[in-house]
Amino acid sequence: MTQTIIVVGAGHAGGQAVATLRQKGFDGRIIMIGDEPYVPYERPPLSKAVLAGELEVERTFLKKEAWYPEKQIDFRPNTLVTSFDRRAKTVTTSHGENLAYDKLLLATGTRVRKLQAPGAKLENIFYLRDIDDTLSIRKQMKPGANVVIVGGGYIGLEVAAVAVKLGCHVTVLEGLDRVMSRVVAPEVSEFYDKVHTDAGVIIKTGMAVTGFEGQGKVERVTCADDSSFPADLVVIGVGVIPNVELAAEGDLAVDNGIVVDEFCQTSDENIWAVGDCTNHPNALLGRRLRLESVQNAVDQAKTAANAMCGELKEYAEIPWFWSDQYDLKLQIVGLSEPGDEVVIRGNPADRKFSAIYLRHGKFVAINAINMIKDFMAAKKLIAEGKHLDPVKAADAEVALKDM
Amino acid sequence: MAKILITNREGEQSEIEGEIGISVMENLRDNDYELEAICGGQCSCATCHIYIDESWMEKVGPRNDEENELLEELECVQPGSRLSCQIEFTEELDGLVLTIAPDE
């Protein structure tokens, strides 16, 4: 009997999973269901090179369109899975089809958190999640346009960097007291605030957006302190929500993400889940977590695909991320927490420095800004659980790998 | 079309018709070679590491600065090491000989 694997979700994780399944020699039927019109693609370039018009959309595709039929992968774009029946082992699609599976992989990802505010449905208010969002924003980003960005996280700041380079007047409204506060130390936030300000971006922190005004199209963004900002275009980047509803309706364990084990298996032995939508254990971090990250999506997809082929390799990786803004390559390894000791290596004024995070002396995370060698060394040292002397670590003349 | 001769991580040799104007990394990815390339060509991760055959090193040219910093920290770096996302495949590289480096 030919086995059937159904993959729900055609993002980075879903795309990697089907590639690994075929690479591992799985020769059964694969159906991959995605709600977008595109084959799986890389999202990171969207807020960077694609938005800037420097990279064609097709070059973000993980595999070319022709690859899927060549590999006998039945790809169903523009399709949602509306429900599934674990006992009958079937999924139902938005086109009313019932499809039977032997094994199911949930790679449902996340969706943007929407602002609930008066006027939030006006034209020219965008979120940036997929290719179509990016192309719509790009079209409106004309030189001289007033661009207001709500949210000073990775997405907001990357969009700001592109917009100001294109000649737009850019204002970033951040709700908390500093930019990227969720992921970097105050010293790094301060640095990025200054870089953007020097580039001509207006950064306003501690701003609570109360609404949007305009006739049909957005014209102004209003805030709780009664200030308002003229806007031809608004881009909102205030986080994402994991897509767990399908799993929850199917009575799988869900707790801020679909609960999986170290092999990405859910509470049902025929169902696996991967990527941004999972709550997974990580032995290297000693805890469970949910991550929004390409590295995690790729590595979990491989783990699950291997497990579905009967090859059990535990998932345990130190997370890493990156963000490109202007000439700055920010590379992050590990997860810092409030309370970690922060050591600055190098001088922010040189646009080349690292923030090292120590927890009781143990090296747990790094933000490396144009410090590629530190990033590479940190990947190894953090995985080893290395302890660092904070005084030595601050000396950028000494290579991290030699500590 | 121009050819690329590839030795994969299992030591098996094969040949592909490369697409001109995209990177060597994209060519390897499109042809199903095992290569992580997690950052998608942003020169941020060093997971598309290859070795250029000695006879091709001059034609392919030197590493750029960022690429060099990433490569120098790898354990299995060699003189012919390059990040395949940083090499645009052109007609001049017809017949390019390379080996995919181990995953670190």
Residue A116 lies in a domain: no
Q: How far apart are CA A186 and CA A146, in angstroms?
A: 28
Helix (H) or strand (E) holding A186: helix A186-199
Q: Given this model, what pLDDT does residue B104 score?
A: 81
Residue A62 lies in a domain: yes
Give me the tens of pLDDT residue by residue for chain B, a chain 104 residues long: 799 999 999 999 999 999 999 999 999 999 999 898 999 888 999 999 999 999 999 999 999 999 999 999 999 999 999 999 999 999 999 999 999 999 88
Taking the model in full, what pTM does it have? 0.95
Mean pLDDT of all residues in chain A? 97
B4, burial (CB in 10 Å: exposed 0-12, middle 13-18, buried 19+)? buried
Whether residues B44 and A329 touch (CB distance < 8 A) is answered with yes
Q: Are residues A87 and A143 in the same domain?
A: no
Residue A271 lies in a domain: yes
Q: Are A89 and A101 in contact (CB under 8 A)?
A: yes
The domain total for chain A is 3
Whether residues B73 and A63 touch (CB distance < 8 A) is answered with no
- pLDDT above 80 for A353: yes
Whether residues B70 and A60 touch (CB distance < 8 A) is answered with no
The residue written with tokens 């693609």 in the block is A41
For residue A373, give the chain B residue with the closest CA: B69
Q: How far apart are CA A108 and CA A83, in angstroms?
A: 13
Q: Are residues A287 and A343 in the same domain?
A: no
- pLDDT above 80 for A372: yes
Residue A315 lies in a domain: no
Q: Are A105 and A304 in contact (CB under 8 A)?
A: yes
Q: Are residues A302 and A355 in the same domain?
A: no
Domains and CATH numbers, chain B: 2-100 (3.10.20.30)
A106, burial (CB in 10 Å: exposed 0-12, middle 13-18, buried 19+)? buried
Give the CATH number for residue A378: 3.30.390.30
Please tell me the total number of residues recorded for chain B in this structure: 104
Q: Are residues A267 and A172 in the same domain?
A: no
Residue A67 lies in a domain: yes
Residues 6+ apart with CB under 8 A from A194: none
Q: How far apart are CA A269 and CA A265, in angstroms?
A: 7
Nearest-CA distance A295 → chain B (Å): 7
Q: Given this model, what pLDDT does residue A18 score?
A: 98
Q: Following DSSP, what letter does each residue of B19-87 receive, concatenated?
A: PTTSBHHHHHHHTT-----TTSSSSSS--SEEEE-GGGHHHH-PPPHHHHHHHHTSTT--TTEEEGGG-
Q: Are residues A81 and A11 in the same domain?
A: yes
Q: Give per-residue pLDDT as tens, A162-180.
A: 999 999 999 999 999 999 9
Residue A29 lies in a domain: yes
Residues of A in contact with B44 (CB under 8 A): 322, 324, 329, 331
Region of A96 (left: φ > 0; alpha: ψ -120 to 50; beta: rest) is left
Option in B34, B36, B73 nearest A376 (CB): B73
Q: Are residues A104 and A158 in the same domain?
A: no
Q: Given this model, what pLDDT does residue A186 score?
A: 95
Q: Are residues A8 and A93 in the same domain?
A: yes
Q: Give per-residue pLDDT as tens, A217-246.
A: 999 999 999 999 999 999 999 999 999 999
Mean pLDDT computed over A200-227: 98
Q: Are residues A139 and A212 in the same domain?
A: yes
Give the CATH number for residue A219: 3.50.50.60
- Rounded to 10°, the helix B65-72/A372-384 angle is 20
Q: Are A330 and A153 in contact (CB under 8 A)?
A: no
Chain B CB within 8 Å of residue A124 CB: no
Task: Give the tokens for residue A109.
Answer: 């990802």
Residues of A in contact with B70 (CB under 8 A): 372, 376
Q: How far apart are CA A362 and CA A340, in angstroms?
A: 10
Provide the domain limits for residue A137. Answer: 125-236
Residue A136 lies in a domain: yes
Examine the fold and report which residue of A236, A270, A292 is the final residue of a domain before the chain moves on.
A236
Whether residues A377 and B72 touch (CB distance < 8 A) is answered with no
List B residues 21-60 in contact with A (Cβ-Cβ < 8 A). 22, 26, 29-30, 32, 34, 36, 38-40, 42-46
- pLDDT above 80 for A1: no
Q: Are residues A250 and A193 in the same domain?
A: no
Q: Are residues A231 and A245 in the same domain?
A: no
For residue B28, give the chain A residue with the closest CA: A63
Are β-strands A362-369 and A328-334 bridged in parallel, bridged antiparallel, or unpaired?
antiparallel
Helices (H) and strands (E) in chain A, counts: 9, 26
Chain B CB within 8 Å of residue A313 CB: no
Structure confidence at residue A403 as a pLDDT band (50, 70, 90): confident
Nearest-CA distance A372 → chain B (Å): 6
Residue A355 lies in a domain: yes
Taking CA atoms, A353 is separated from A197, A366, A402, B50, in Å, by 19, 10, 17, 28
Q: Are residues A227 and A265 in the same domain?
A: no
Chain B CB within 8 Å of residue A60 CB: yes
Report the share of chain A in percent with pLDDT over 90.
Answer: 99
Q: Are A141 and A158 in contact (CB under 8 A)?
A: no
Smallest CA-to-CA distance from A274 within A290, A295, A247, A297 is with A297
Helix (H) or strand (E) holding A355: strand A352-359
Q: Computed over its alpha carbons, how large is the radius of gyration of chain A?
A: 22
Could you give the ipTM of this predicted complex?
Answer: 0.91
Q: Are A290 and A105 in contact (CB under 8 A)?
A: no
Structure confidence at residue A290 as a pLDDT band (50, 70, 90): very high
The residue written with tokens 């007609």 in the block is B91
Q: Are residues A302 and A360 in the same domain?
A: no
